[in-house]
Amino acid sequence: MRGSLAALALLLTAAASAAVPAPHAPAGWRAAAKPEVYTANNLYGYIDGGAELFLELGFKDLHVYRLTHGTRELGVEMYRMSDSEAALAIYLAKCAPETPVAGLSSRSSGDRFQLGILRGRFFIMINNFEGDESLLAPMKQVARDLAGQIHSAPHALPVPVPEHGLLSSSVRLVRGPFGLQPVYTLGDGDVLGLDGKRWAVVADYRDGKKSWTLIKVDYGDPAAASAALTYLAGHLDSQLKVIGRQPKRLVFRDYAGQFGEVSTAGSFLNIRVHLAGPPDKG
Amino acid sequence: MTRGGYQSIDVLPGLDRRELIKLSAAGAGLLLGVPSVWAAQDEKAAGSARVKTNIGDALEASRCRWSIPGPFPGRVARVTDPRAMKAGRPDAAVVREMFRAGLTGLAGRKPEAAFPLFFEKGDVVGIKVNPVGAGLISTRLEVVDAVIEWLERGGIPRKNIVIWDRFDYMLTDAGFTPGRFPGVGIEGLQTMDEAAAEGKRDNSRWLRPDGHHVSEAGFDRETYYFADVEGPPDKAYLNQQVFNGKYSYFGKLLTKRLTKIVNIPVFKNTGNGISMATKNLGYGAICNTGRLHKPLFFDVCTEVLAFPCIRDRLVLNITDGLRAQYEGGPMPVAKFAWEYNTLFLATDPFALDTICHYLMVKERKARGVRVNEHPRYTEYLRYAAELKLGTTDPKEITVVAG
């Protein structure tokens, strides 16, 4: 029985490994025979201090390939995420605001030092350690090669957000406290109850002279959204002073003198922060 | 290059005193005796006690004439020269000129005349660099050259100078080699086997047969930062951190050999905060730090610097902003790096970080990066002021143009 399980595990490992495309070396280049493979258990050994965000968003594994041409070297990192939304989330976290790379049809961002590519459930980073301008062409060639090996449909946001006034380069996806950290501090820990499973979409808006940041979560049903509001109200950060509370709405003022509003609408929790003045009465 | 003279914060490019004061005021009323944790990473229930540390031991030790904030509390010299970086590489002559101008601005006298304010005969000087992000965002070798030249002119022989960091292999990667710096000591407090960490090699290169890390002897078991928290008791952690348990020992280099420290961090962010002067030492002078990030994070940057082996030896801080990074730090991300062509000098590391934090936030906003300005990301600076380690009230900080 134990032998069968071990064989099955080997098969599964091999299958998983085979599902990750390998880059073909451009002419004159050599690719290492085997990739370095990292899982959730040892990712922090590769990404010093940054693994938590990958894990929170839905990291499966990482295959790292080295391509060499004499003394020149390219590193190719293939991050396989749990699904295409997780891939979009880490791509936006690492590459936005995007600087698309000319000559690549896949969604991409970068320069001669690093190319980031979004494809299916993969986030691909191609690193040029020396920043040598002449290596941009082989970097693009590797990017095109890998993109051709991965089926990819357009990546959609997991939670719809209003388009009016949206600053599109500001959109980010959050699945827990690490992702929320650069956005706003609403409370300690996973105060929105995202638990690495539920998505929040974050986006900045500008409408005339008004601007704000929206954090929108879909809890699946109105009761869960209402419960999330209640929990947040009870665990709000000590720097946020509540100035208004209704069954479906909470208004606060923050440490910088700006205002925030949390409200429910059906299954959604809408949080608006960085408001210059008090929000209109709901 | 802007030369000579003292200017208030208001008139220096990129600095606005009103904004800076607003930044500080955001945290007023918090603190000060109970520094907060970096709670965004903290899963503890709100209101639970802060992790206990032995900061009290540090505070009991008598101060000396060299103790931070040194002879110039609350003073920061800033030097910018657009000629500093040429085609992505530092111009050594310009960098040298910038360093000397900054020092003159800070001390109010020529570097040679200022020398006795920092050093005395027989000193063994450790230059703490930041080699992370080798080549892209690491401490520039040319800045270290300028410091070494100044030390030699002042009478410190090369054999009494040690370029150091926590990790030996990172120093090599960043170009701090005996060939590049002949006659100068180059030392990592510890080694770490990267290949073993990646699972490509067994543990024999870092783990002794008795189960202890080969770098244990590099740390002083008598001088430690205690925090009531532990990291995972596994070999991967031990490889990187040298010790498990609740004690972070200081490197023997600091406790037994160095008499002075010159700190040369890099201008870069770490999340919503900065990874500059105080973090370069707070997390670079001790082992077993992995356990500290989650419960204490920035407070470590204050408390570790309160221990005499740093507090009484750290005489000068130079934040290398020749190439800086505004997002993605502390790890290197090329697309977020830019040529800032600036050096900052201070004897007061907390005044320096206060100014640099403000400038970093300003830069991030200007570049469209979303910034969370919650006071928790600067509480450690105000905590340092409470411990009398530095000046962090913007009203009391003077920025001097070098």
CA distance B236 to A45: 8
For residue A202, the cross-strand partners are A172, A215
Q: Do A180 and B40 touch (CB under 8 A)?
A: yes
Task: Tell me whether A141 touches chain B (CB under 8 Å).
Answer: no
Q: What value, to the nearest 5°, has the Cα angle with vertex B153 and ends B152 and B155?
A: 65
In sequence order, which ranges of A45-134 are alpha helices (DSSP H)?
A: 51-57, 84-95
Binning pLDDT at 50, 70 and 90, where does residue B194 land?
A: confident
- The C-alpha atoms of residue B36 and residue B50 are separated, in whole angstroms, by 7
DSSP assignments along A109-156, one per residue: EE-SSEEEEEETTEEEEEEETT--GGGHHHHHHHHHHHHHHS--PPP-
Which pLDDT value is given to residue B164? 98
B44 Cβ under 8 Å from any chain A Cβ: yes
Best mutation site among A181, A204, A231, A274 for testing chain B: the one with the most B CBs within 10 Å?
A: A181
The string of pLDDT tens digits covering residues B20-58 is: 544 444 443 332 222 222 233 333 333 457 899 999 999
Q: Is the peptide bond before B330 cis (omega within 30 degrees of 0)?
A: yes
152-211 in chain B: CB under 8 A from chain A: 197-200
What is the model's pLDDT at position A52? Answer: 87
A103 shares contact with chain B (CB less than 8 Å): no
Chain B contacts in chain A segment 60-99 (CB below 8 A): 94-95, 97, 99
Q: Which residues of B touch A181 (CB under 8 A)?
A: 40-41, 271-272, 372
CA B253 – CA B285 distance, rounded (Å) = 9
**With contacts defined as CB-CB under 8 Å, which chain B residues touch A49?**
270, 293, 330-331
Provide, rounded to the nearest whole percent, the portion of chain B with pLDDT above 90. Answer: 77
Q: Which residues contact B172 (CB under 8 A, 6 or more apart)?
A: none
Q: How far is B135 from chain A (nearest CA, A)?
A: 8
What is the rounded distance in angstroms from the CA atom of residue A48 to the CA atom of residue A195? 23
CA distance to partner chain B, nearest, from residue A42 (Å): 8
Interhelix angle B349-366/B379-386, nearest 10 degrees? 160
- Can you tell me the distance from the alpha carbon of B317 to that of B127, in angstroms, rounded to the nearest whole number? 10
Q: Which residues of B touch A184 (CB under 8 A)?
A: 372, 374
Residue A239 is nearest to which of B42, B271, B374, comparing CB atoms?
B374
Global ipTM: 0.78
Please state, rounded to an integer, the average pLDDT across all residues of chain B. Answer: 89
Give which of A255, A258, A274 to mutate to test B binding, by max B Cβ within 10 Å.
A255
DSSP structural state of residue B256:
I
Confirm if A192 and A200 have CB atoms less than 8 A apart: yes
The answer to whether B42 contacts A110, with C-beta atoms less than 8 Å apart, is no
**Cβ count within 10 A of residue B100:** 18
Using a 10 angstrom Cβ sphere, with 0-12 exposed, 13-18 middle and 19 or more buried, the burial of residue A18 is exposed
Quote the pLDDT of residue A46: 79
- Do the chains contact at B42 and A97, CB–CB below 8 Å? no
pLDDT averaged over 10-residue windows placed end to end, chain A, 282 residues:
48 54 94 87 76 94 94 94 97 91 93 93 91 91 96 94 95 96 95 97 94 97 97 97 96 96 98 95 60
Three-state DSSP at A205 gives: strand
If we measure between CA atoms, which residue out of B282, B288, B157, B150 comes closest to residue B229? Answer: B288
pLDDT confidence of residue A262: 98
Q: pLDDT, tens digit, for every residue of B304-315?
A: 999 999 999 999
pLDDT at A129: 73
Say whether B375 and A170 touch across the interface (CB within 8 A): no
| Chain B touched by A176 (CB under 8 Å) | no
Nearest-CB residue to A256 (from B26, B45, B293): B26
Query: What's the angle, vertex CA B145, arms to CA B144 and CA B151, rounded to 5?
Result: 90
Contact A36 B198 (CB under 8 A): yes
User: What mean pLDDT comes out for the span B70-92?
Assistant: 96
The pLDDT value given to residue A6: 47
DSSP per-residue string spanning B53-64:
B-HHHHHHSPP-
pLDDT of residue B333: 85
- The half-sphere exposure of B198 on its side-chain side, counting CA atoms within 13 A, is 13
Nearest CA to CA, how far is B254 from chain A (Å)? 25
CA distance B52 to chain A (A): 19
* 3-class secondary structure, B223: strand
Q: Does the distance separating the beta carbons of A185 and B40 come in below 8 Å?
A: yes
> Least CA distance to B38: which residue of chain A?
A188
The per-residue pLDDT for B97 is 98
Chain A residues whose beta carbon lies within 8 Å of the beta carbon of residue B136: 113, 131
- Specify whether the CB–CB gap between A254 and A245 falls below 8 A: no
Residue of B89, B335, B338, B373 to mutate, interface with A, max A Cβ within 10 Å: B335
Q: Which residues contact B268 (CB under 8 A, 6 or more apart)?
A: B133, B137, B274, B275, B276, B324, B325, B326, B329, B330
The pLDDT assigned to B18 comes to: 54
Mean pLDDT of B299-304: 98
Q: Pick from A282, A271, A276: which is nearest to A203 by CA? A: A271
Q: How far apart are the first and last CA of chain B?
A: 8
Angle (CA) B212-B213-B214 rounded to 5° is 115
Q: Pairing mode, if any, of strands A200-207 and A30-31?
A: unpaired
Residue among B267, B298, B399, B394 nearest B346 (CA) = B399
Q: What was the pLDDT predicted at B23? A: 47
Confidence of residue B4 (pLDDT cuts 50, 70, 90): very low
Cα B289 to chain centroid distance, Å, stands at 15
Residue A212, SS3 per DSSP:
strand
Q: How many angstroms separate the CA of residue A207 from the nearest CA in chain B?
A: 17
- Residues in chain B with CB shorter than 8 Å from the CB of A111 are 334-335
pLDDT at B123 over 50: yes
Q: Which of A99, A178, A239 lies nearest to residue B335, judging by beta carbons?
A: A99
Chain A residue closest to B238 (CA)? Answer: A45
User: What is the per-residue pLDDT for A13?
Assistant: 44
Q: pLDDT of B30-39, one tens digit each? A: 322 222 222 3
A258: left (phi over 0), alpha (psi -120 to 50) or beta: beta
Question: How many alpha carbons fall within 13 Å on the CB side of residue A196?
Answer: 10
Which of A49, A182, A189 is nearest residue B370 as measured by Cβ atoms? A182
H helical segments located in A150-258: 177-180, 222-234
Residues of A in Cβ contact (< 8 Å) with B373: 255-256
pLDDT in tens, B213-241: 999 999 999 999 999 999 999 898 999 99
- The pLDDT value given to residue B44: 34
Q: Is B303 exposed, middle or buried (0-12, 13-18, 19+ CB in 10 A)?
A: buried
Inform me whether the C-beta atom of residue B88 falls under 8 Å from chain A C-beta atoms.
Answer: yes
pLDDT band of residue B328 (cuts 50, 70, 90) is: confident
DSSP E strands, B273-392: 273-274, 314-325, 337-346
Residues belonging to chain A: 282
Nearest to A75 by CA among A28, A41, A113: A113
Of B88, B199, B333, the CB nearest to A42: B199
A33 touches chain B (CB under 8 A): no
Chain B interface includes A131 (CB < 8 A): yes
Q: What is the CA radius of gyration of chain A?
A: 22
d(CA B163, CA B170): 12
Residue reference for tokens 């008139």: B11
Q: CA dihedral defined by A128, A53, B200, B335, rounded to 10 degrees?
A: 10
